[in-house]
Structure 1
Amino acid sequence: MDTVVTIRSYDLDTVSEKNVDRAFTAAFAKIRSVERHLSIYDKNSETVKINRRAGTTATIKVSPDMWDAIKVSKKIAALTRGGFDPTIGPLTDLWRFGNQPRVPKKAELRAALRLVGSKDIVLDGPAHSVRLRRKGMRLDLGGIAKG
């Protein structure tokens, strides 16, 4: 997810080194798993698959991690009245955070803003599948996946 992860262990006197190693191994395995599903940088991630099919009727069956991240993201978007929105992808694409940052033109921003709105994330609970209603929409779960 293009970030740094640090895990620290405290009070090693009460826990065996073997158990600490197991815990670290499990924690980093979980981080890799979450990244495989939620990353916008991995062309095979569930996020990228959902984004590719935005605006179609095709749904993507998602992992429990992805399902939970999207549900929580939608809830936070509602609670913040859009202050946080997991469909911010069109805006982050414009700013090109990371590679070659730039300030987009106002017309570009207005067009991208029309594609932002978590209300257009369609969840099918029984199927554990997701789709984005409008073509050009893009999920970017970096704001929640790193937390």
Structure 2
Amino acid sequence: MKKKSLAALALVLALFLGILWHLHGTKESKKPLERSGFLFDTVIAVSLYDKQDEAVLDEAFQLLEQYEEIFSPTKSESELYRMNHRGSGVTTWKASPAMLDMVKLGLRYSELSDGAFDVTVLPLSSLWNFSGGEAKVPAEADIETAVSKVDYRHVRIDGDVIDFGDDFTQIDSGSTAKGYIADRLKDFLVEKGVKSAIINLGGNVLCIGEKAKGKPFQIAIRKPEEHSNEVVKILDIDGLSVVSSGVYERFFDLDGVHYHHILNPRTGYPYQNGLVSVTIVGPSSAECDALSTAVFSLGREEGMALLEKTEGYYGYIILEDGSILASAGAQPGKNP
């Protein structure tokens, strides 16, 4: 089943990149220097448009591997895993700068959404299996127990120490870490003199500069269905990130109900609020990552209100009926 899951992820990325590179196609003979891999439980890719330097890609992927050793939720030696399994009676954790930044980001959006998005949702999200295998809804008693352990208000930060207030509160990095890592990878590439590149961490897309002089990258928003290669909107992107959250990424269907990975921390079940995807565009991939999940969690009206008061960011909400809502300041985009 693991191989099946990997194959599915590879297909999703291939479909996405196929659209992306097709949209970028020009008569230029110079192709980008590309490399892909599997990290953070997803397929990733880095493409350099103005540098043909394998050494830069070598260092870039070494940096990505270092961040996996910090943020992996499943590797027992990672900082995140050790922090979340800190042991009976242990309520504090002396965190690395990267971990502090990621937790602060999650706490800020937990507060902005009044807990509709909650960075401490891991006891709940770990009950649900959206990665393949038997489609099964967790037992009601287990969900109730997990919900009682989710509350971002338990967490306090003092200097470089995270105080959880108890020994069971855990941090879920699923809506924050990839965006944070994409931003740090951008910093590294820019330091190396890269002026034109695309970073794709499992659909978290960050563009450095523009594709060619005067020509922005064109990023496609796909129809929010599994394996779909249908494009609903094309965006011109210059130096910004594009991040989507939706019901089609990790899910299963059982007895006529669509269960997806964006969970309501108050009920323990996936949100059923009429939204199927949220796409956010802005300068920071980390902000886009957290904001996309927070907007989805808040729903149509409250989510759009949060987005429109977030300066420098805009986005699109796709509803179950296929209609698209754009925030104030959003570019109209192009029809495919």
Q: TM-score range by the shorter chain?
A: 0.7 to 0.9
Higher relative contact order (CA 8 A, sep 6+): 1
Partner amino acid, structure 1, of 2:142: E
Change (3 A) 1:81 1:23: farther
Task: Give the distance between the partners of 2:163 and 2:74, measured in 1 at CA.
Answer: 19
Alignment deviations for residues 66-92 of structure 1 (CA, whole Å, 9 cap, x no partner): 110001111011111222222111111
Does structure 2 conserve the Cα–Cα contact (< 8 Å) formed by 1:54 and 1:135? yes
Alignment deviations for residues 72-121 of structure 1 (CA, whole Å, 9 cap, x no partner): 11101111122222211111111133264521122221211111111112
| Larger Cα-atom Rg | 2
1:64 is aligned, of 90, 97, 100, to 97
Secondary structure class of the residue paired with 1:7: strand
Task: Give the distance between the partners of 2:170 and 2:131, measured in 1 at CA.
Answer: 17
Do residues 43 (structure 1) and 76 (structure 2) align?
yes
Change (3 A) 1:58 1:82: closer
Task: Give the distance between the partners of 2:87 and 2:130, measured in 1 at CA.
Answer: 22
Alignment deviations for residues 10-54 of structure 1 (CA, whole Å, 9 cap, x no partner): 2x3xx4x23xx3432332222212211111111011112221226
- What are the ranges of 5 or more consecutive residues in structure 2 without an aligned counterpart? 1-39, 180-336
Does structure 2 conserve the Cα–Cα contact (< 8 Å) formed by 1:50 and 1:132? no
Does structure 2 conserve the Cα–Cα contact (< 8 Å) formed by 1:69 and 1:145? yes
Do residues 146 (structure 1) and 178 (structure 2) align?
yes
Do residues 137 (structure 1) and 137 (structure 2) align?
no
2:140 is aligned, of 94, 103, 106, to 106
Structure 1 counterpart of 2:119: 86
- What are the ranges of 5 or more consecutive residues in structure 1 without an aligned counterpart? none
TM-score under structure 2 length normalisation: 0.38
Partner amino acid, structure 2, of 1:143: S
Does structure 2 conserve the Cα–Cα contact (< 8 Å) formed by 1:85 and 1:117? yes
Task: Give the distance between the partners of 2:149 and 2:55, measured in 1 at CA.
Answer: 43
Shift of 1:58: 4.5
Task: Give the distance between the partners of 1:129 and 1:55, measured in 2 at CA.
Answer: 18
Secondary structure class of the residue paired with 1:8: strand
Secondary structure class of the residue paired with 2:175: helix
Partner amino acid, structure 1, of 2:46: I
Do residues 76 (structure 1) and 103 (structure 2) align?
no
Shift of 1:2: 0.9
What is the total number of aligned residue pairs between the two structures?
Answer: 139
Q: CA RMSD in A?
A: 2.1
Does structure 1 conserve the Cα–Cα contact (< 8 Å) formed by 2:103 and 2:171? no
Structure 1 counterpart of 2:60: 27
Percent of matched pairs sharing the same residue: 29
Change (3 A) 1:23 1:81: farther
Change (3 A) 1:99 1:87: farther
Partner amino acid, structure 2, of 1:140: D
Change (3 A) 1:130 1:54: farther
TM-score under structure 1 length normalisation: 0.81
Partner amino acid, structure 2, of 1:24: L
Task: Give the distance between the partners of 2:63 and 2:57, measured in 1 at CA.
Answer: 10
Change (3 A) 1:72 1:54: farther
